[in-house]
Structure 1
Amino acid sequence: MAVDEIAASLLHQVTTIAGQVTGRMQEGLERLDLTGPTANLLWVLNPEDDPQSLRRLATLLHCDPSNISLLSAQLEERGLAERHPHPRDRRVRTLVLTPEGRKVRERLLTVVAQRSPFADLDGEEQRLLQSLLAKALNGPQ
């Protein structure tokens, strides 16, 4: 197989997997009463990390900061997150999970793990794939 054919095949596989992820996650998200965008925001709010500014969250999710404001409000309405001033710069707003938000995030991660197209890969295969994808994502832009 020529290099161009391999690249095209890889892109096809990645987009197919992305579609499978979306489809497989939908039922789980509905059970958690989450939309795709609110689930994505909940996902990146790792309680072990330092609080992220709303602007940084927008960058991580590749969306406009106004979208993060709307999604933040939706999570706040459900009692899953709260906006707080950043600990080092009080002018900057952050989004922090509530205890209930942590529980829902944990259930979300469980749903993702169970329904992932990668669930049938063993631990070593998952680590290898993770490493290769990280290399591809951090490569030349």
Structure 2
Amino acid sequence: MTPRADPLTIEVVDLIGTVVARYHEEYEHAAAEHSLTGTQARVLHLLSVGPQPMRKIAQCLKCEPSNVTGIVDRLESRGLVERRPDPADRRIKLAAATTEGARTAEALRTSLNFAREPLGRLTVAERALLKQLLQQMLGVAPERAE
């Protein structure tokens, strides 16, 4: 039997759910302003970080590689993505953002006011603590200060 969550944990989970829902709503709106679906925008963001094989994109999206093929096809037809051979294994095709695709991904990222405005009400120390706590929750190693 799973132990019941305490009231504070339940409240925090509800607040996280609200933040996630508002983020997705704004992300979909920002994507639509670029004539993209939310999923297309997410793929474009992944590819703006660097070229990716279709299987890896599918893993990130938690979907079948065949779904990714259609998404990449639509992005490619708009000149936002291109396919290229993997230098390490020429049998594998990588999807990569074009210059225009990278520009669009950056414009999308910077247009997300929902997260920026509420975070702006926090001090630098509070934002740093929030970042650290989120990294801890996700099991992500904190960045080291150089």
What band does the TM-score fall into relative to the shorter chain? 0.7 to 0.9
Counterpart in 2 of 1:110?
110
Aligned-partner Cα distance in 2 for 1:77–1:122: 43
Aligned twin of 1:24: 26
Q: Which residue of 2 aligns with 1:138?
A: 139
1:64-103 → structure 2 map (5 Å cutoff): 64-103=64-103
TM-score (norm 2): 0.80
Root mean square deviation, CA, Å: 2.2
Give how far 1:64 is off: 1.7
Contact 1:86–1:94 (8 Å) recurs in 2? yes
Task: List alignment gaps of at least 5 residues for structure 1.
Answer: none
Q: Identify unmatched segments of 5+ residues in structure 2.
A: 141-146
Give CA-to-partner distance per residue, 1:65-110, whole Å, 9 cap, x none: 1221111111101100011111111122211011110110110111
Greater gyration radius? 2
State the percentage of identical aligned residues: 31
Answer whether contact 1:79 1:98 (CA < 8 A) is retained: yes
Counterpart code for 1:7: T
- Give the superposition deviation at 1:122: 4.3
The answer (yes or no) to whether the contact 2:80–2:101 under 8 Å persists in 1 is yes
Aligned length: 135
Q: Quick one: which amino acid aligns to residue 90 of structure 1?
A: R
TM-score using structure 1 length = 0.83
Check if 1:34 corresponds to 2:36. Answer: yes
State the match for 1:59 in structure 2.
Answer: 59
